[in-house]
Amino acid sequence: MQLLSEEKIWGGTIWDQYHPIRYLPGEIASAFREEADFLWRDLDENRLRVTLKPADEERYTGHQIRVVESTNPQWYRELYLARTHLKRQRSLRSLGRIGDSCDLHYLDQRGAVSPFGSYDSLYRELIQKRLIDGYEIDDGFVPERILVKRFFSREKFE
């Protein structure tokens, strides 16, 4: 199997998270789309839900405490702690664009609070790391994708 040479990727340079996945070879782009779809479903289905219940040790009449019913996915919690002002809806739209191969170029605009395509580049970087390193899930470990790992380590196949 022949992967694209470096010269054919993004105008003579190596692909990075600042460029859309459409510049990646088919199987690599497909792995990114699959992972984006997985992350989109995970984020859409799992959100923080907190309810109130009567306190076990009531300190005053009607005393209630907060109880967590469900949480955000672990990967989103980590990303949220690392990045200020991360928005759930923007994250879902970005993951949807990546899953549909309609993701945006990253354009750093002077003075912009959030540069154009910044969410897309953030999630492309996260997906690339997950595909190369593998990741933990509730019931085990998802191993790295060998083809993706080899592509980004610059190994070429004949």
Q: Which helix (H) or strand (E) holds 44?
A: helix 26-45
- pLDDT given at position 114: 57
Q: Does residue 3 register a pLDDT over 80? A: no
Tens digit of each residue's pLDDT (9 = 90 or more) over 86-128? 999 999 999 999 999 999 888 765 554 556 678 999 999 999 9
- Domain locations in the chain? 6-46+72-152
Sorted by sequence, the CB contacts under 8 Å of residue 53 that are 6+ apart come out as 64, 65, 67
